[in-house]
Chains A and B, each alone.
Chain A
């Protein structure tokens, strides 16, 4: 079940679209977001996020620095100061 995922850096919108699962390096530990996650907000430590477009697919890994993640109504928004593919 896909949900909407947005990855935004100050310079541009890096990614926007439906994904299956995203693993985010939160300040207090990694967490994975799937469809229907409860509303949640967390700061992020510098690290890698893994984006799974479909269940069981190879994850797309991106390095991010400085920012925070917001899980809203069936959507995940990550604001990061730096994003490297």
Chain B
């Protein structure tokens, strides 16, 4: 049986762990609110962008000369998987879930004989991907140089991706991130960014004909398509930010509770052991006295 001293040490160490998880939980809760506000504030733009894109693309649907960002390169051989994770752990299965989602797709693509490339954002996804798919990572960057990713930051990444696309490095790009539903639920999400998936039933036909375009529909679309990639990336980064804090809060809440349970158990064990030691001592003294 563990000695009293051992038990006391263990209780002490669990208690200090609990202090850490409790603090991290409170930090996450505070950050979550801000991150959530940022996500909500960014939605009108993304939604508006989406609807304009859909109506424009719907009108140009049959045009053969449309931008490859919209209709694709015609090929389907090389896939770029953009995986957005966070830089820090202590967020439960948050990063693992995103990577798992991407791995499923990657494995099925590789099995189908396609070429897969990885574009990694955030430290936490790198280790797994590097171990499982060595030599397939084309780019890696973390967020150590920026606290809250802003739109410019997303635009720079989007520029890089589009440059690679124009250079013919890949045909299809998928984006992986965690969608923020609530503090308790985050959904790992796969989203195609290049070519832009177009809803066949876009309501683009409603006001057709009446709208005037300046300079022209094609020019506007060419201007919007790269911007749309940046918007989608920005949205993913913000959703990820909120999801990370949400996941972290839940995970740390569980950890704090588990530590509490553990402390209770250990305390009971400690007290029982102490009692047993006292009883043994008493028995020794009494039987010693009787023997005299």
A8-B48, A12-B41 are contacts. A41–B212 as well, Cβ < 8 Å? yes
A10-B151, A10-B234, A81-B155 are contacts. A39–B224 as well, Cβ < 8 Å? no
| Partner of A8 from B38, B45, B224, B234 at Cβ < 8 Å | B45
A11-B150, A68-B220, A70-B52 are contacts. A28–B44 as well, Cβ < 8 Å? no
User: Which residues from B are CB-within-8-Å of A43?
Assistant: 214-215, 219-220, 223
A13 and B224 within 8 A (CB):
no
| Partner of A10 from B45, B210, B223 at Cβ < 8 Å | B45
User: Could you list 21 A-B pairs, sorted by A, with CB under 8 Å?
Assistant: A8-B48, A9-B151, A10-B42, A10-B45, A11-B38, A11-B42, A11-B151, A13-B44, A13-B45, A38-B210, A38-B212, A39-B210, A39-B211, A39-B212, A41-B220, A42-B213, A43-B214, A43-B220, A68-B220, A79-B48, A81-B227
1/0 per residue A14-37: CB within 8 Å of B? 000000000000111000000000
Q: When chains A and B are docked, how far (Å) is the Cα of A55 from the Cα of B211?
A: 26
A11-B38, A81-B155 are contacts. A40–B214 as well, Cβ < 8 Å? yes
Closest-by-CB residue of A relative to B219 is A43
User: Which residues from A are CB-within-8-Å of B213?
Assistant: 40-42
Chain B: minimal CB distance from A4 (Å): 13
Is B231's beta carbon under 8 Å from chain A? yes
Q: When chains A and B are docked, how far (Å) is the Cα of A81 from the Cα of B234?
A: 12
| Partner of A79 from B49, B207, B219 at Cβ < 8 Å | B49
Q: When chains A and B are docked, how far (Å) is the Cα of A68 from the Cα of B234?
A: 18
Chain B: minimal CB distance from A27 (Å): 6
* Max count, chain B CB within 10 A of own CB: residue among A28, A43, A70: A43
Q: When chains A and B are docked, how far (Å) is the Cα of A20 from the Cα of B289?
A: 104
User: Which residues from B are CB-within-8-Å of A47?
Assistant: none
Chain B: minimal CB distance from A24 (Å): 11
Is A77's beta carbon under 8 Å from chain B? yes
User: Which residues from B are CB-within-8-Å of A73?
Assistant: 207
Chain A positions near chain B (C-beta within 8 angstroms): 6, 8-13, 26-28, 38-43, 66, 68, 70, 72-73, 77, 79, 81-82
The prevalent SS among residues of B at the interface is helix
User: Which residues from A are CB-within-8-Å of B150?
Assistant: 11
User: Which residues from A are CB-within-8-Å of B49?
Assistant: 79
B44 and A8 within 8 A (CB):
yes
Q: When chains A and B are docked, how far (Å) is the Cα of A47 from the Cα of B207?
A: 29
| Partner of A9 from B38, B45, B52, B155 at Cβ < 8 Å | B45
Closest-by-CB residue of B relative to A77 is B48
B44 and A26 within 8 A (CB):
no
Q: When chains A and B are docked, how far (Å) is the Cα of A68 from the Cα of B223?
A: 9
Within 8 A of A (CB), among B220-247: 220, 223-224, 227, 231, 234
Q: When chains A and B are docked, how far (Å) is the Cα of A40 from the Cα of B154?
A: 29
Q: When chains A and B are docked, how far (Å) is the Cα of A73 from the Cα of B206?
A: 12
| Partner of B214 from A10, A12, A27 at Cβ < 8 Å | A27
Chain B: minimal CB distance from A28 (Å): 5
B45 and A79 within 8 A (CB):
yes
Chain A: minimal CB distance from B148 (Å): 10
B211 and A41 within 8 A (CB):
yes
User: Which residues from B are CB-within-8-Å of A77?
Assistant: 48
Chain A: minimal CB distance from B40 (Å): 9
User: Which residues from A are CB-within-8-Å of B48?
Assistant: 8, 77, 79
Q: When chains A and B are docked, how far (Å) is the Cα of A2 from the Cα of B234?
A: 33
